[in-house]
């Protein structure tokens, strides 16, 4: 039997792309607010669909005049702000690849990102401009916004050779046009993997539209909804779950620079927010503040369905599971029906889900197994890992299912509960962190013979990294210097949330088969 695609297939986004979606809403919802920028220390500013589309067109025209061409990669290294969204949409309209990077990244990480994707230019803010100028050597130019996510820049923030973001805009009439191709490259996000090098997840325009449409359906979003967004827009959660889904239905997205428990409710009530995508860290922080009786929220999306500890919020919470590679949720809670508390929901109708043991046999109710998901690459799954054919190939099993690296437990009535990460991964305040990435930095420090990073439970961040080290000279000769050098190496090479919170020196490690470090035993020492 042939496995090739049948002729004549018409996909759900045939003849469409992301610029089409924005133009359509700018036409049909012209004066309705699309984005409301709510900085901490300035009044909020609203952007209608028409106004935002006009500015995107002007920026796309300006980027074209600055030499950005279809297929070029542009780094967008910004905290949440309207400029980030303008830059993302303008690149996408041009046919350039919008590469959004984590603003907590260290110098070595930024150098790798820029070189790996072949970035030709970067758009950033004053606080990060020098970092990019010093470490991203092949950029033709760097444009810098006038503020740091709403805060005034400090003196000397921006390097001399940087350009002002405001000067990039040109005449909207000159906005470039290109043939519509839903499977053309759209954007890239770097995601932590179990190797030393993060992988670049490439989305097509069809991926972005899939995320917009399916996220909106999963979240029961409507044109009247106001989505409060404070998780970082360089991640899938805020970019696709919040912003693109709001765009799909013609709703409104309120953007805050970052999460602030102190400011959350004031913004929510001022703008009549009805929806938010959040994480347990944020909810825990909100429980320390008074909850207004008059808020307008009807649904929250978070890690698990209706978590009992958070019942005091008084809002229905649906759980979900997804990855950058899936664009939307492969498992999601029910909006209109009761959910099993602390589950992540049921398998989403748009995917095929498998839960199997290590031998590939299906698990039964109550058992924990490996989670695999099947979709269509370039549509319901990412297109590929950029410049890494081997990693792309090895991410799928022999049946064409994407190997997520997560483990889940099957419950009654098809509900699913998150188990653990099969990969050696930590979850630090909503950020995925590969233990091996930290270990490979530490092992380069003179005096370190072996290093093992494990997760330690944290009341707010869920987990934090802790490292056990066997020093070359043994623990009897250990000095404070080695401790300080280990942490200094981590701070130089890794984002701040990846830096170990504790360093433990030991003479030996517990071992499992094949002399591998028994990390479960190390975790017990931290209990």
Question: What confidence score (pLDDT) does residue 479 get?
Answer: 78
Whether the predicted pLDDT of 194 surpasses 60: no
Question: Span 316-336, mean pLDDT?
Answer: 97
The two tokens of residue 121 are 């230019």
Whether the predicted pLDDT of 172 surpasses 50: yes
Find all residues with CB under 8 Å of 249, minimum gap 6, and list them.
216, 221, 222, 223, 225
14-151+161-168+181-277 is a CATH 3.40.50.2300 domain = no
Contact 379, 210 (CB under 8 A): yes
Q: Print the SS3 string covering 74-138.
A: EEEECCCCHHHHHHHHHHHHHCCEEEECCCCCCHHHHHHHHHHHCEEEEEECHHHHHHHHHHCCC
Question: What confidence score (pLDDT) does residue 512 get?
Answer: 64
The two tokens of residue 50 are 């028409």
Whether the predicted pLDDT of 472 surpasses 70: yes
Least confident of 22-31, 220-229, 361-370, 417-426: 417-426
Residues above pLDDT 90, as percent of the chain:
79
Question: What confidence score (pLDDT) does residue 284 get?
Answer: 85
**In whole numbers, what is the pLDDT of the chain averaged over residues?**
93
Question: What confidence score (pLDDT) does residue 416 get?
Answer: 97
Question: What confidence score (pLDDT) does residue 488 get?
Answer: 94
DSSP code, position 151: B
Residue among 345, 32, 407 at smallest CA distance from 218: 345
Pairing of the two strands 275-277 and 226-229: parallel
Whether the predicted pLDDT of 3 surpasses 70: no
Higher pLDDT, 191 or 87: 87
What is the per-residue pLDDT across 54-75, written as a single tens digit (0 to 9) for each? 999 999 999 999 999 999 999 9
What is the per-residue pLDDT across 340-351, written as a single tens digit (0 to 9) for each? 999 999 999 999
DSSP code, position 240: I
Question: What confidence score (pLDDT) does residue 515 get?
Answer: 57
What is the per-residue pLDDT across 380-439, written as a single tens digit (0 to 9) for each? 999 999 999 999 999 999 999 999 989 999 999 999 998 866 667 888 988 888 888 898
Rounded to whole angstroms, the Cα distance separating 111 from 131 reads: 9
b/e burial code for range 194-216 (CB count within 10 A of at least 16 → b): eeeebbbbbbbbbbbbbbbbbbb
- What residue segments make up the domains of the chain, in order of their start? 14-151+161-168+181-277, 425-526
Question: What confidence score (pLDDT) does residue 473 get?
Answer: 82
3-state secondary structure of 262: helix
Question: Span 162-176, mean pLDDT?
Answer: 95
pLDDT-based confidence at residue 234 (cuts at 50, 70, 90): very high
Question: Span 164-179, mean pLDDT?
Answer: 95
Rounded to whole angstroms, the Cα distance separating 526 from 455 reads: 9
Q: Which class does domain 425-526 fall in?
A: alpha beta
pLDDT-based confidence at residue 1 (cuts at 50, 70, 90): very low
Whether the predicted pLDDT of 177 surpasses 80: yes
The two tokens of residue 213 are 């449409």
Would you mind telling me the total number of residues written for the chain in this entry?
A: 527
Question: Span 298-322, mean pLDDT?
Answer: 94
Question: Span 82-110, mean pLDDT?
Answer: 96
Least confident of 24-33, 101-110, 159-168: 159-168
Question: What confidence score (pLDDT) does residue 2 get?
Answer: 43
């Amino acid at each position: 039997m042939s496995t090739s695609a049948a002729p004549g297939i018409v996909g759900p986004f045939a003849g469409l792309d992301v610029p089409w979606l924005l133009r359509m809403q700018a036409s049909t919802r012209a004066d309705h607010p699309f984005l409301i920028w709510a900085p901490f220390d300035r009044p909020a500013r609203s952007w209608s669909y028409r106004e935002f589309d006009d500015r995107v067109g002007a920026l796309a025209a300006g980027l074209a005049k600055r030499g950005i061409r279809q297929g070029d990669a542009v780094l967008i290294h910004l905290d949440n702000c309207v400029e980030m969204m303008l830059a993302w949409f303008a690149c996408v309209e041009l046919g350039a690849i919008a590469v959004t990077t984590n603003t907590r990244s260290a110098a070595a990480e930024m150098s790798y990102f820029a070189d790996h994707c072949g970035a030709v230019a970067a758009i950033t803010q004053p606080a990060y401009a020098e970092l990019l100028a010093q470490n991203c050597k092949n950029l033709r130019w760097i444009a810098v916004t006038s503020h740091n996510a709403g805060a005034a820049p400090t003196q000397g923030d921006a390097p001399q050779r940087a350009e002002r973001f405001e000067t990039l805009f040109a005449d909207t009439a000159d906005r470039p046009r290109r043939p519509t191709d839903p499977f053309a490259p759209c954007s890239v996000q770097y995601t932590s993997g179990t190797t030393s090098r993060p992988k670049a997840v490439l989305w097509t325009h069809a991926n972005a539209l899939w995320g917009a449409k399916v996220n909106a359906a999963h979240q029961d979003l409507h044109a009247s909804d106001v989505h409060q967004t404070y998780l970082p827009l360089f991640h899938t959660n805020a970019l696709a779950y919040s912003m693109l889904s709001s765009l799909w239905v013609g709703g409104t997205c309120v953007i805050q620079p970052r999460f602030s428990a102190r400011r959350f409710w004031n913004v929510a009530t001022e703008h009549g927010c009805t929806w938010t995508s959040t994480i347990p860290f944020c909810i825990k922080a909100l429980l320390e503040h008074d909850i207004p009786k008059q808020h307008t929220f009807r649904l929250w999306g978070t890690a698990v369905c209706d978590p009992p500890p958070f019942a005091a919020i008084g809002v229905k919470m649906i759980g979900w599971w997804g990855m950058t590679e899936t664009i939307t949720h492969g498992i999601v809670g029910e909006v209109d029906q009761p959910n099993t508390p602390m589950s992540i929901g049921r398998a989403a109708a748009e995917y095929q889900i498998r839960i199997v043991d290590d031998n590939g046999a299906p698990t039964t109710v109550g058992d924990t197994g490996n989670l695999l998901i099947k979709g269509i690459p370039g549509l319901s799954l990412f297109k590929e890992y950029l410049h890494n054919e081997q990693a792309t190939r090895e991410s799928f099993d022999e049946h064409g299912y994407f190997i997520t690296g997560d483990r889940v437990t099957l419950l009654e009535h098809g509900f699913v509960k998150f188990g653990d990460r099969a990969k050696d991964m930590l979850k630090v305040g909503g950020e995925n962190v590969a233990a091996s990435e930290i270990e490979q930095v530490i092992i380069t420090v003179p005096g370190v013979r072996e290093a093992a990073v494990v997760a330690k439970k944290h009341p707010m961040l869920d987990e934090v990294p802790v490292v056990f080290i066997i020093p070359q000279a043994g623990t009897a000769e250990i000095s404070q210097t080695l401790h300080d050098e280990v942490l200094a190496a981590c701070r130089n090479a890794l984002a701040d949330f990846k830096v170990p919170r504790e360093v433990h020196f030991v003479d030996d490690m517990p071992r499992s088969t094949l002399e591998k470090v028994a990390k479960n035993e190390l975790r017990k020492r931290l209990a």
